[in-house]
Structure formats: C-alpha cells, structure tokens
Amino acid sequence: MSKPVLDINEKPSGGQLLTLSFQHMFAMFGSTILVPQLVGLSPAIALLTSGIATLIFLIVTQFKVPAYLGSSFAFISPIIIAAGLNEKTGMSINPGNAMIGAMAVGLVYGIVSLLIWKTGYKWLMRLLPPIVVAPVIIVIGLGLSGTAVNMAMNINVEVLDEATGVMENVSQYSGLHFSAALVTLFAAIIFTVYFKNILSAMPILLGLIVGYLYSLVIGIVDFTPVKEAAMFALPEFLIPGVDYEFNITAKILLAMVPIVIVTISEHIGHQLVLGKVVNRNYVKDPGLHRSLLGDGLGTFASALIGGPPKTTYGENIGVLAITRVYSVYVILGAAIIAIIVSFFGKVMALISTIPTAVLGGISILLFGIIASSGLRMLVESKVDFGNNRNMVIASVILVVGIGGAAVRFNESFAIEGMALAAIIGVILNLLLPGREKNVEDYDN
C-alpha cells in the first residue's frame, strides 16, 4: 500500500489546507446541490447543512474517519412523495413533511447504532444482504430515469387552452435544450472515462460547468436571479413550528424511513472502502455504531433547519484515494468552506440559473450510475441467479419498485414504490428457505 502524503491526524500547512479543502468542497459540490435542485429545496441550505453534518460526523467519530457528508440521492423520490412537487414551479408543496421524515430517518440511524453498540453488527448484515440491497439500489436509479429524460428533453411553456381561454403550463420537446443536456452528459462521460487524475473524481461538477458554458452560448441562461440577489444572504431555513407545522403522519414515515435499508448498507460499504483506502478498520475503531450515529445526527441536524438527508460521499473517498491526503483537517476545512459559501447570495443565485436541461443531462448519467452500482454489488457479491430464491427476491423488488406498486389503506396512508419494494425484499429474505447463514467477518 502506498505511503500517505498526509495521514489521518497530520496537519497540512496553511496554503496546503486551503487548496486541499477547496478540492474536497468542489468534489462534493455538484452532487450536493443537485439533490435540492431536483426536489425543489434550497441549494444554499443543502450546502450549509453538508458542512454542519460533516462537522458533527467528525466529532462523533473522534476525528478518526476522514469522510464528507453530502446530500443523499436515495431520498429524491421519497422527498417528492412526502413533500409533493408542483410540476409547474418545480418547488416542493409541503417541504416540511420531507424534513419531518428526514428527522425520523436520523432517529432510526441512532436506534440502529445503539443496537450495534450493544449487540454487534452481524445481525444487520444478515438482515440486509446484497440480494436485498442491490435490487433496491437498482430501483432507485431506474425509478428516477423518467425524471432525468423529461428534464433533458422537455421545457415547460404556457399555451392558451382554446376551450377554456385559460393559459396552461404544458411540457414540450425542445431540441435546443436537449442539445445542452447531451453536451453535459458527454462532458461528464469524458471526465469519468478519459481522465485518471483528480478531474475524474468530480465529473458531475465538471459536466455541469461544461453544460452551463454551452447553455450560455446557445442563450438559454437567464441571469435575472443573479442581478436581483444580494451579495450575502441567509439560506432559506425551514424551522419546525415556525415555517411549517410539525405533524408526523404515517404517509411521511412510510415514504422516508424504509429507505434506510439502502442508506445504512451504503454507509457500511463506504466505511469498508474508506478503511481500505486509508489502511484502517473503521468497523472496529471507532466502530460502525459511531459512524452510523454520526451520519444519523448529521441528517437530523440537517432536517432541523431545512436540509436534505445526508450520506458519506464516494466522490470524496475518490479524492482521498487519488491524492493520498487522508488528513481529517482537510475534511474539516472543506466543511467550513461549504458553510461560508452557502451565505454568498450571488453564488447561490448563479446556481439557480443552471438550465433544467443541464441538470437532466447530468442526471441521466448519475441515475444510471446508481442503478449500475446495484448491478456491480450483485456481481462483486457473487450472487447466484441460478438459485431460484435469489431470482424471486430480485424480481419482486425490481417490478414492485420500478412499477410503482402501492399498498393504500386510505388517502393519507400508503406504502409505495421503492419503500414498499425494500420492505418486501427484507421480508422475502427472512421468510424464504435457503437464507445464507454466514456473514463475512469485517473485524479482521
């Protein structure tokens, strides 16, 4: 294993700290602001809460784990279901509902971390094997594919309904906007495939930049929000009891909480990969219970002020692997920079001018990668599809999740889509005979 340039607790010089911290901030930037853009939340609050959540994570893990927490893509559809999305404005109808659901997610993380602390982690690995988690990850990616393609190809225009004489918002195909999506997509692909240095670790951000520059050339960028924005501005906070009524419902919980089946598995995977990169055993020290608790508290704190759920970021793990700079001080610096940047009103307004087509183009790749990562998990875990048990579990999860199946009890109480698919997957894995009894020992 290569010797690190800076190990976990080594302090860089002032100039190094600033440069390396900005590098990590840019690595997570594109993904972190993309999630709120897709669900109608504030990019500024997402950036602010990513910094806050990362600080919390570092403290809880005793400054032993150099991980950055950003917006979780697994919760895009659940947020839309919980909050609702106005198709005309692209804004959430009741964003407070999503925040309540995210707080519940954070509490579930805390409960799971407590159970792991008291009983160990192997029961969790048996509950969430690859045959359950991987198909749900595929559902997350493919379930969003229609959204990505619609954003890439279509624009909303107002047309006159001759029958009623009322102007209506209609989605129409636009070749000009689709060209911006394709330029964005291919730019991101090029940075992913053909670049092997630090640039390959941030293809989303670089793809957005190239797509944005192309959009400027073809004239589909409106700078009005930037002109009207103040240089410095407070992010759009969402405070429970102030900006929305704190009302917990079954619909909110069932839309959001079941997704922890995936995100906890994602967290474990990131800790294992990160441990291999920096030559540490994070399952053992500081312990999976601490890293999960840090993730959960970060998500809870984020939701308290209006930010989306958080997760450890693979992009930043990639930066660690490429640079061999493992210092937690660099991650701490990136978190502080993110918090500061979130208060620059002009910067946040500039982000809001990114055309929907550009976001759609990058989403085609991103959502596809999410689905493909589920396939990769199946391959790397050597799941045997000659086994009818595995075939049944994967098949049911995929069709229930992508097909949008729902169990409705009344207008406000339903389990649907990927949440239902995840629950059914866990139940099938527990009930069907032939379940794998052995769990890989990660303590070694």
% residues pLDDT > 70 (the chain): 93
CA 61 → CA 44, 56, 354, distances in Å?
26, 9, 36
DSSP state at residue 307: P
DSSP state at residue 286: I
Scan for tokens 């895009």, then name that residue: 76
Average confidence (pLDDT) over 61-72: 95
Q: Cα–Cα–Cα angle for 336, 338, 343, nearest 5°?
A: 105
pLDDT at 1: 55
Residue 108 · residue 296 · CB < 8 Å: yes
pLDDT at 403 over 80: yes
Residue 206 · residue 362 · CB < 8 Å: no
pLDDT at 440 over 60: no
Pairing of strands 310-312, 166-173: unpaired
One-letter amino acid for residue 408 of the chain: R
178 vs 142: CA distance, rounded Å:
20
Q: How confident is the model at residue 441 (pLDDT cuts 50, 70, 90)?
A: very low
**Which H or E element spans position 35?**
helix 14-39
Distance of CA 261 to the CA centre of its chain: 14
Q: How confident is the model at residue 182 (pLDDT cuts 50, 70, 90)?
A: very high
CA 186 → CA 30, 32, 163, 364, distances in Å?
16, 21, 43, 10
Per-chain mean pLDDT for the chain = 88
E-strand stretches of 237-394: 310-312
Q: Cα torsion for 72, 73, 77, 79, to the nearest 10°?
A: 30
Residue 167's beta-bridge partner residues? Answer: 160
How many other CB atoms sit within 10 Å of the CB of residue 171? Answer: 12
22-26, 60-64, 193-197, 359-363: lowest mean pLDDT where? 193-197
Residue 50 · residue 31 · CB < 8 Å: no
Complete DSSP assignment for 36-103? HHHHT--HHHHHHHHHHHHHHHHHHTTT-----EEE-GGGHHHHHHHH-B-TTT--BS-HHHHHHHHH
pLDDT in tens, 228-273: 999 999 999 999 999 999 998 888 898 899 989 888 988 988 888 8
**Which H or E element spans position 217?**
helix 203-218
Q: How confident is the model at residue 442 (pLDDT cuts 50, 70, 90)?
A: very low
pLDDT at 143: 86
Scan for tokens 């279901």, then name that residue: 81
pLDDT at 93: 79
29 vs 219: CA distance, rounded Å:
25
Average confidence (pLDDT) over 327-332: 95
Question: Can you read off the two tokens belonging to residue 399?
Answer: 């069709």
Question: Can you read off the two tokens belonging to residue 88?
Answer: 């005309």
The candidate with the shortest Cα–Cα distance to 318, out of 68, 50, 36, is: 68
Q: For the chain, which residues make up each domain, given as ranges?
A: 14-431
pLDDT at 160: 66
CA 348 → CA 46, 307, 406, distances in Å?
11, 15, 37
260 vs 409: CA distance, rounded Å:
23
